[in-house]
Amino acid sequence: MVTNNVTRFLDSRKIPYTAFELPAEKLGALESARLMGVAPSLVYKTIVVVREKSAKPILAVVPGDHAVNLKTLAVAVGEKKLKVPPLREAEQLTGLQAGGISPLALINKGFQVVVSSEALQHEQIHISGGQRGLNIRLPVRALLDLTRARTAAISLPLPEGESGNED
């Protein structure tokens, strides 16, 4: 079983979770869902979104079969315009590899976290465990509380066969 800062943090807070080990290459949420045998709507991806001004980026946490709706996210965080940066920039901003970017690994680093409101329909969801090859299933309420996340309607279903934004 993989142990890292995220799993140690969850253990220290006595948060129930299940860790899933996956191949350590960059997998999208849809591929991760297939490997774990769960619905793509339960595997959430973290998309780094940058503001026009140089404030800290936003972590948009959306279902694997959805894309971030930048317009509704901008409204939710009180910004005029947002954009999804290239993968390299997302990695530089977070210090994490794409495919391993997790709101749990970035707690107390100043990122605003917004979770797509679909998460509220589920008891538990899957998110990245803070490194490639580690996926964590945990209670939605625990994720929202730990990351001080807001929920908002910030995602749109993907057209069939697309992976959406950068995941």
pLDDT score of 167? 45
Predicted TM-score (pTM) of this structure: 0.93
Taking residues 152-157, what's their average pLDDT? 96
Residue 95, C-beta contacts closer than 8 angstroms, at least 6 positions apart: none
* Phi then psi dihedrals of residue 164, to 5 deg: 70, 140
Written as six digits, the tokens of 63 are: 């279902």
Q: Where are the beta strands (DSSP E) in 54-149?
A: 58-63, 66-68, 82-83, 112-116, 124-128, 134-139
Give the HSE-up count for residue 63: Cα atoms under 13 Å, Cβ half-sphere: 21
Please state, in angstroms and rounded to a whole number, the distance separating the CA atoms of residues 124 and 113. Answer: 17
* CATH superfamily of this structure's domain 27-145: YbaK/aminoacyl-tRNA synthetase-associated domain (3.90.960.10)
Specify the DSSP class assigned to residue 127.
Answer: E
Which is higher by pLDDT, 25 or 116? 116
What number of other Cβ atoms are within 10 A of residue 53's Cβ?
8
Which is higher by pLDDT, 102 or 160? 102
Residue 36, C-beta contacts closer than 8 angstroms, at least 6 positions apart: 20, 22, 43, 126, 135
pLDDT score of 162? 65
Residue 60, beta-bridge partner list: 47, 114
Please state, in angstroms and rounded to a whole number, the distance separating the CA atoms of residues 33 and 167. Answer: 13
Burial class (CB in 10 A: 0-12, 13-18, 19+), 94: buried
Q: Where are the domains of the chain?
A: 27-145
> Positive or negative, the Cα torsion across 11, 132, 49, 163?
negative
Q: Tens digit of pLDDT for each residue in 90-101?
A: 999 999 999 899
Q: Tokens 């391993």 — which residue?
A: 100
Q: Tens digit of pLDDT for each residue in 31-86?
A: 999 999 999 999 999 999 999 887 789 999 999 999 999 999 999 999 999 999 99
